[in-house]
Amino acid sequence: MTKPSPKLQIIPLGGMGEIGKNMTVVRYGDDIIVIDSGLMFPQDDMLGIDLVIPDIAYLLENRDLVRAIILTHGHEDHIGALPYVLKQLDVPVYGTRLTLGILEGRLKENNVAATLNPVNPGNQIQIGVFKIGFIRVSHSIADAVALSIKTPVGTIVHTGDFKLDQTPVDGKVTDFHRFAELGDRGVLVMLADSTNAERPGFTPSEKVVGATFDETFRNARERIIIATFSSNIHRIQQAIDTACKYRRKVAVLGRSMVNVVNIAMELGYITMPEGVMIEVDEINNYPASGIAIITTGSQGEPMAALSRMAMSDHKKVEIVPGDTIVISATPIPGNEKMVSRTIDFLLRQGAEVVYEAAAGIHVSGHASQEELKFMHNLIRPKFFIPAHGEYRHLVKHAKLAQDMGMPKENVFVVENGTVLEFTPEKGVIAAKVTAGNVLVDGLGVGDVGNIVLRDRRQLSQDGILIVVVTMDKQRGCVVAGPDIVSRGFVYVRESEQLMEEAKDRVKDALEKCEAGRVTEWATIKSNVRDTLGKFLYERTRRRPMILPIIMEV
């Protein structure tokens, strides 16, 4: 009896139904490659959490089969989890020069060693059974690539994040010829960026922002401060070019901005004439009309440079009336309030703030509907998996593919952890594997779960009451207490009567336990918690966390 040939499996571990945390597994037999390894920023209800990364339990279970991690570009939602993943998986990483340059800085910060292999757009490499090609695409960061993956079953195309910019800042246009060639040869499966699947038309060229910069610099009389993403090399280059045109010195502010600009200059992705760049400490040596500052903080992050300037909390730069602030980004969903707050504080200090997307101060790095259609027509895949987007984006992209003639049964809108299996004729959802969120809090990775988050939410909403009692375990009687300590529940000095009544209720609960000869500490604590919780809810309609502590003598 002949052994059945292995099936081609595609398993997304992140990036489906969410913006961020992108990670996709491709498996054939005993060979696994991983595409991207990104992070996601925490949602509002993830109190105290710094970052969210994918759950890589599946990869750890199959660590001997993982051959490499392939990166499409250097954004945090595609490379940000690697400092944590590479501590557990010792595998080589492949990416373009800028992508690996940014990654190298992140790995050094976290004291992680890794084997980094640079590739250029147009290169092809063999890893296990997979032949992987790197295809140049335009995005909001330089050196972005799509991937072609030739497998024994058929070819996969992963677009990465892309848009079809016909006039890119660096002059390096998307390799349409390569995509068309792949489409002509036949593509089994395509995974494609769905971020802007709801947006009709075409995404404007990055050069639109350059024209707006020019107008802003021409009209500004005092300092110009531009806030944008540190990874948006083309936007930073345009800001530098415009500053040179209007004879302004350029200072760079914010840790991530300084790091990325230095890496990009070393690698030749940012160029500027000698003498244009100055240190932030030197800005007061020049007239305000001769200064441009490029900074972090376009998302209103509390600790970012622009936010600290807005709050008059920055050590080196103070906002003064007449400053022109350009926020060259749109708020990531969830950051709108922080951005609005930053803008308000800047306006209060007398600055002029340019922030509307309609002002041409920001363009997206993702393809809109007409560009997605163009990509579908070039590739003409047999099967399609919408990727990289919230669930509504995936559904919209799936419908767009169906409107273009793809059979509904050949389009797969899936969630993280879904195992898709493909043969040359058929694609099916075969199974589920572990996938989800691993929360990073300080130095702890994965040690904060749903129970801890639930406790944090309760503490943030209603506070905590700690009940301290000293008991004689032999006799089962109270020796001292109860004492009640409250934090975040009520102001104790104004609620003395409530606290005394609470103590009385605790005493009643303890006396009942004593009378019933209850000696188990867990049972006594539970009775105290239930009695006090019921009383406080009746009196205040609040449910603070109640933490009984029994000390024995």
- In angstroms, the CA 309 to CA 88 distance is 39
Is pLDDT of 461 > 50? yes
**374-398: average pLDDT:** 95
More confident position, 502 or 89: 89
**493-503: average pLDDT:** 76
**244-264: average pLDDT:** 91
Is pLDDT of 396 > 50? yes
* Token pair belonging to 211: 């024209």
- Residue among 227, 135, 112 nearest 181 (CA): 135
User: What does pTM read for this prediction?
Assistant: 0.82
* Token pair belonging to 434: 């572990």
* pLDDT given for residue 139 in this prediction: 93
Range of lowest pLDDT (97-111, 204-218, 384-398, 525-539): 525-539
**491-502: average pLDDT:** 74
Q: List the alpha helices (DSSP H) in 110-220.
A: 176-185, 207-219
Distance from CA of residue 447 to its chain's centroid?
Answer: 19
- In angstroms, the CA 225 to CA 327 distance is 8
**474-493: average pLDDT:** 71
Type of residue numbered 183: G
- In angstroms, the CA 100 to CA 86 distance is 14
For the chain, give every domain's residue range. 8-201+364-442, 207-357, 450-552
Radius of gyration of the chain (CA): 29
Q: List the alpha helices (DSSP H) in 380-419.
A: 391-403
- 90-116 confidence digits (pLDDT tens): 999 999 999 999 999 889 988 888 999
Range of lowest pLDDT (42-56, 189-203, 236-250): 42-56
Is pLDDT of 387 > 60? yes
Share of the chain above pLDDT 90, in %: 50
* pLDDT given for residue 450 in this prediction: 62
- Residue among 457, 425, 372, 440 nearest 191 (CA): 372
Q: Which residues fall within 8 angstroms of residue 171, CB to CB, at 6 or more apart?
A: none
Q: Are 225 and 326 a contacting pair, CB within 8 Å?
A: yes
Most confident of the following: 316-320, 434-438, 530-534: 316-320
CA distances from 105 to 51, 83, 89, 117, 281 (A): 18, 10, 19, 15, 24
- 166-198 confidence digits (pLDDT tens): 999 888 999 999 999 999 999 999 999 999 999
Residue corresponding to tokens 């702890």 = 444
Share of the chain above pLDDT 70, in %: 89
Sheet with 444-445: strands ordered across: 51-54, 437-441, 444-445
* Token pair belonging to 84: 């944590």
CATH number belonging to the domain at 8-201+364-442, selected among 3.60.15.10, 3.40.190.10, 1.25.50.10, 1.10.760.10 = 3.60.15.10
**21-38: average pLDDT:** 94
* Token pair belonging to 355: 């922030």
Assign 31 a pLDDT band (cuts: 50, 70, 90).
Answer: very high
- In angstroms, the CA 268 to CA 360 distance is 27
Sheet with 324-327: strands ordered across: 249-253, 291-295, 224-227, 324-327, 352-354
Is pLDDT of 83 > 50? yes
* pLDDT given for residue 185 in this prediction: 96
Mean pLDDT, rounded, of the chain: 87
435 SS3 class: coil
Going 247 to 251 to 256 to 261, the CA torsion angle's sign is positive
**CATH 3.40.50.10710, domain 207-357, yes or no:** yes
- 422-432 confidence digits (pLDDT tens): 999 999 999 99
Assign 359 a pLDDT band (cuts: 50, 70, 90).
Answer: low
**Element spanning 126, H or E:** strand 124-127
Assign 1 a pLDDT band (cuts: 50, 70, 90).
Answer: very low
CATH number of the structural domain 450-552: 3.10.20.580
What is the DSSP secondary-structure string of 484-508? EEEESS--GGG-HHHHHHHHHHHHH
Is pLDDT of 527 > 90? no
* pLDDT given for residue 512 in this prediction: 75
Residue corresponding to tokens 């595998």 = 91
- In angstroms, the CA 42 to CA 250 distance is 33
* pLDDT given for residue 109 in this prediction: 84
Type of residue numbered 21: K
